[in-house]
């Protein structure tokens, strides 16, 4: 059974520069207008959030069936959706089943993506740490150096450099004597 479904949704975007994010959101809404019935739009001013800008638009839309509402939600990922009318909805069980399966698939996809990004980040962190240890080891092969001298060469603050040096001391890679660091001799 097709019935007119009216919703209010908020679509947000984050990016930079400000002009780009404003144009991107407006272009996206224009694209939506070609595909859906949008009865009202109200844009907020872009606000700076750190290095990025956040902007949102509140839109009111009309749909002829719940399937199209659910498709809109998946495709546009609004931050908020309010069904304004009708007060009661009726739709086929297969529509809800399809929605729930799509939702589960999206959740699993996001979970896999998060795990993949986390594993890659861990690998990058490990590699960066190994490169830093090798660089420090190479510096100390030339001559004994203070934390300040090492810090200046590697471009990392003295406090952070000291943390790396302490790890290298614990691993037996370097040693400290009188404020100077040197390569630990292998016995």
Summarize pLDDT for 137-159 with one digit per residue, the tens.
889 998 999 999 999 999 999 99
Q: What is the band of 66 on the pLDDT scale with cuts at 50, 70, 90?
A: confident
Answer yes or no: is pLDDT of 1 > 80. Answer: no
What is the H or E stretch that residue 8 is in?
Answer: strand 5-15
Q: What is the band of 186 on the pLDDT scale with cuts at 50, 70, 90?
A: low
What is the pLDDT, as a whole number, of residue 90? 78
Q: Average per-residue pLDDT in the chain?
A: 91
Hey, where are the domains in the chain? Answer: 5-84, 120-183
What is the pLDDT, as a whole number, of residue 119? 94
Answer yes or no: is pLDDT of 5 > 60. Answer: yes
pTM of the model: 0.60
> What are the residues whose beta carbons fall under 8 Å from the beta carbon of 68, sequence distance 6 or more?
36
What are the φ and ψ backbone dihedral angles of 142, each rounded to 5 degrees? -65, -50
Q: What is the band of 187 on the pLDDT scale with cuts at 50, 70, 90?
A: low
How large is the C-alpha radius of gyration of the chain?
28
Q: Which two tokens stand for residue 68?
A: 């199209």
Answer yes or no: is pLDDT of 181 > 80. Answer: yes
Confirm or reject CATH 3.40.50 for domain 5-84, answering yes or no: no
Topology (CATH level 3) of domain 120-183: Arc Repressor Mutant, subunit A (1.10.10)
Span 81-109, average pLDDT: 87
| Long-range pairs for 68-77: beta carbons < 8 A, 24 or more residues apart | 68/36, 69/5, 69/7, 70/95, 70/98, 70/99, 70/102, 72/9, 72/36, 74/102, 74/106, 76/9, 76/11, 76/32, 77/11
């Amino acid at each position: 059974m097709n019935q007119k479904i009216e919703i209010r949704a908020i679509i947000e975007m984050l990016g930079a520069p400000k002009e780009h994010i404003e144009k991107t959101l407006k272009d996206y809404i224009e694209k939506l207008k070609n595909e859906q019935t949008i009865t009202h739009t109200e844009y907020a001013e872009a606000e700076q959030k750190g290095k990025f800008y956040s902007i949102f638009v509140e839109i009111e839309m009309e749909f002829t069936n719940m399937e199209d509402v659910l498709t809109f939600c998946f495709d546009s990922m609004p931050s908020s959706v309010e069904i304004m009318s009708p007060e009661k909805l009726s739709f086929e069980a297969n529509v809800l089943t399809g929605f729930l399966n799509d939702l589960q698939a999206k959740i699993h996809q996001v979970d896999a993506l998060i795990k993949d990004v986390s594993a890659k980040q861990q690998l990058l962190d490990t590699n960066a740490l190994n490169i830093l240890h090798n660089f420090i080891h190479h510096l100390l092969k030339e001559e004994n150096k203070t934390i300040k001298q090492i810090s200046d060469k590697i471009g990392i603050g003295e406090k952070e450099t000291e943390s790396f040096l302490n790890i290298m001391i614990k691993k037996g890679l370097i040693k400290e004597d009188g404020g100077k660091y040197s390569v630990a001799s292998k016995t």
